Chains A and B, each alone.
Chain A
Amino acid sequence: MIVENPKNLLKIVLKILFFAIIAFVWLLPFWWMFITAFKTQGEILQYPPTMYPQEWTIQSFIDVFTKVPLFTFFKNSIIVSFAVTIVAVFTSTIGGYIFAKFKFKGKNFYFLSILSTIMVPLTVIIIPLYIMTISVGLKNSLLALIIPGWVSALGIFLVRNYLYAIPNSYIEAARIDGCSEFMIYVRIILPLLKPVISAIFIFIFMANWDSFFWPLIVIDETSKRTLPIGLGLYTQGFGVQSWNMIMAATLLSILPILVVFIFLQRYFIKGIALTGLKE
């Protein structure tokens, strides 16, 4: 590339430099985790630290697999995240559709009440939720992690806003054709909502995959732990300097979702961008 204007050349060099700095700062932690997991116990306690393992070993991974029931944590996280997200997408689309396209008494009151729950901090409701969970016998049950996520105020809000812009004639036409209300929702509304559904799906799934505070207090049986608490509590028992094992466990727990993300990155990024574009 021939750049005739030196001012433009400077601009390009600065851009490349800036790009490289950001990429370095953002990727370094992942690189550091990766190489630590393959280092020997002796090498991680060296100063200066090596940026590349002198001797590659998979001992840490073997230790992690024998000591940590990572597979169980994974399975629990997958069950909980899907069981929450699928129901929450259903309630969000049906609720958002009702608030956007139907007239009934008390509509604004109900809608504003739902919307205002976005402001309620988890720390306020967590103690009564815990007491309720115990009184219905759901402590240490995955259901305790699933049910509280079944409704999403943000989800309902996004669907309602999206449907507001869509003309009623679609729905009226289907009604005249004798379509039942539920079939209108399934055949007409759901297909229209595809982009919103993928956005809601992604942010609810991510929030539940990462959920920590609630599972931390409501689950104390190892076999029922989800990935975040499993990883967080198990690594505390490794001994302070076993960073190679801790990083091996960390690497194994984030790898699957990173792979999924790389393949579906367009949907992830679009989904998050959509949540910010409100009216």
Chain B
Amino acid sequence: MFKNFFKKFDSKKRFVVSGLVPILTLFTLIYTYPIFSAFFISLTDRKLLSEDKSFILFDNYIKVFYDAVFQKSLINTLYFVAAYLFLTIFLGLGLALFLKSLKKLYQTILQVILFLPVVTVTVAAALIWKWMYVPSFGVYNYLLDFLNIGPLKFLKSSGTVMPSIIIMTIWKWLGVNVVIFLAGLQSIPDQYYEAAKIDGAGPFSLFTHITLPMIKPTMEYVFITTILAAMQVFTEVFMLTAGGPGIASRVVAYHIYEVGFKFLKIGEASAAAFILFAFILLMTIFQFRVFRREELY
């Protein structure tokens, strides 16, 4: 009896230890150690592939913060995040509502269409759009001509380059949030709407009083994943403009890539990365407060 009990206890413990140790080791090697190491590097003037370093405390942070190129990268990143977040939620929820009103077959067709760019490699998607955006022979100027707009220079002018990148990114990824919003909408029981309709609620108040509160968890998820991804936007910028013209579309991730891996100044690059990290944490905390505020009362 006792022998059995200990055997059982042991096998459980053995399972937990042998399952968890490799997982925690990997997380430590891939995340924990690099975070501390990066912070350490950000306090030095170390160059990539060299061991020589001296501690300069927060000099890198001060330098980065007053660097006009970094400032522009940060402003562009925040602009990208704000515009992208607004568009992905507005269009994502709008299209999800539209999809919900369609018959199953049309719903599936449109979902598949919206998902085609999602399964397309970002580099390939960016190449297609780069070609479409070409001012002289590209298809967009040709089509805009019918609407009496343009010709625009898209990626070639500092005035239009950021919106052009944002539009391409929306096209690429919108399908994800549409599908997530649709799943959220479909999880709302129909009885809620029926009951409210009997009480005389119009479509607008159905939306604000039932739909929005019911999809709050979904909204929160979309917010947080979008902010995380958009703050780190890299591939689209690298492929479409490499930060150009000049530094008009440079974002923080691209700045870190160039400073760290081309100019080899990893101290400065790490400092820039931690400033980005700080902004991500601030936005997340802010977002949690906004979403949780109502629950406090």
Contact = CB atoms under 8 A, between A and B. Distances in A.
A257 to B, nearest CB: 6
B119 A27 contact: no
A117 B31 contact: yes
B119 A212 contact: no
Contact of B284 (A119, A147, A213, A276): A119
Interface residues of B, number: 96
Nearest to A88: B26
Given A32-B132, A49-B139, A151-B23, A275 B180 contact: yes
B115 A261 contact: yes
Nearest to B136: A47
Interface in A1-47: 15, 18-19, 22-23, 25-30, 32-33, 36, 44-47
Interface string B33-47: 111011001000000
A95 to B, nearest CB: 5
Contact of B260 (A33, A127, A153, A268): A127
Contacts of A212: 122-123, 234-235, 238
A252 B142 CA distance: 26
Contacts of B187: 277
Contacts of B125: 29
A19 B169 CA distance: 21
A148 B281 contact: no
Interface stretch (B6-14, B52-60, B194-202, B203-211): B6-14
B23 A94 contact: yes
A9 B232 CA distance: 46
B170 to A, nearest CB: 10
Nearest to A47: B137
Interface in B30-82: 30-35, 37-38, 41, 48-49
Contacts of B31: 117, 120, 125
A265 interface: yes
B15 interface: yes
Given A33-B128, A212-B123, A44 B137 contact: yes
Contact of B119 (A175, A235, A257): A257
If over half of B's interface residues share one DSSP class (helix, strand or loop), that class is named, otherwise mixed; here it is helix
A276 B231 contact: no
Interface size band for A: 35 or more
B27 A114 contact: yes
Given A26-B117, A29-B128, A123 B139 contact: no
25 contacts: A19-B110, A22-B113, A22-B114, A27-B113, A27-B116, A48-B142, A49-B137, A91-B26, A98-B16, A121-B277, A124-B274, A125-B30, A126-B256, A127-B270, A147-B30, A212-B122, A212-B123, A212-B235, A216-B238, A232-B127, A247-B127, A261-B115, A265-B108, A265-B115, A272-B118
Given A27-B113, A275-B180, 8 more contacts: A32-B128, A117-B31, A128-B37, A129-B34, A151-B26, A261-B119, A265-B115, A272-B118
Interface of B: 8, 11-16, 19-20, 22-24, 26-27, 29-35, 37-38, 41, 48-49, 95, 98, 101-102, 106, 108, 110-125, 127-129, 131-132, 134, 136-139, 142, 171, 176, 179-184, 187, 217-218, 221-222, 228, 231-232, 234-235, 238-239, 252-253, 256-257, 260-261, 266, 269-270, 272-274, 276-277, 280-281, 284
Interface of A: 15, 18-19, 22-23, 25-30, 32-33, 36, 44-49, 91, 94-95, 97-98, 102, 104, 110, 113-114, 117-132, 134, 147-148, 150-151, 153, 156, 175, 180-182, 185, 206, 209-210, 212-213, 216-217, 227-229, 231-232, 235, 243, 246-247, 250, 253-254, 257-258, 261-262, 265, 268-269, 272-279
